[in-house]
Amino acid sequence: MINNMNDEKGKILLATLAGIGVGVAAGILLAPNNGLDTRDSLKRTLSKAGDDLERTVKNFMDKLERNKVTDDGSSLVMRGSWDDVKGQLKKNYAELTEDDLTYVEGQEDELWGRLQQKLGKTKNEIMKVIRDL
């Protein structure tokens, strides 16, 4: 049953992405505006679509966590780049240093460990802080 739910949600997400792509292509082909106006409009549309997609993925992952399909806090969706997140964390938690926030791909557990030790929070609490930035 859970696999069927995941398959259905995956199909819905794929259909949404396909619909966005078709809509963007149709908009470009049928655009009555000049190039600059069309690019600006397209940029706004894609930005909104990206925000909508991020919200959809976050809601989907939250639902999986609530239904105990995945562990609590198993997903992390960040807004902005890691540098943006680091800057905000340093601003909110003055005790964090550049070394504390060094991210190396494949060594995420070390980063979580440093943050847990420095902030006295659990991994799930830290993930929530980062998601809420």
Confidence (pLDDT) at 48: 82
User: Does position 37 have pLDDT exceeding 80, yes or no?
Assistant: no
According to the CATH classification, is domain 74-130 in 1.10.600?
Answer: no
More confident position, 95 or 2: 95
Please answer whether residues 115 and 126 qualify as being in contact, where contact means their C-beta atoms are separated by less than 8 angstroms: yes
Confidence (pLDDT) at 33: 62
User: Does position 110 have pLDDT exceeding 80, yes or no?
Assistant: yes
Confidence (pLDDT) at 74: 54
Domains in the chain: boundaries: 34-69, 74-130
Confidence (pLDDT) at 52: 77
Whose structure tokens read 């809420």? Answer: 132
pLDDT in tens, 63-87: 766 776 666 555 555 556 778 888 8
CB atoms within 10 A of CB 80: 11
Confidence (pLDDT) at 117: 92
In terms of Cα–Cα distance, which of 123, 121, 93 is closest to 110? 123
- What is the average per-residue pLDDT within 123-128? 82
Q: How high is the mean pLDDT of the chain?
A: 76
Burial string for 22-47 (b: 16+ CB within 10 Å, else e) reads eeeeeeeeeeeeeeeeeeeeeeeeee
pLDDT in tens, 6-34: 667 777 877 888 888 888 777 777 766 66
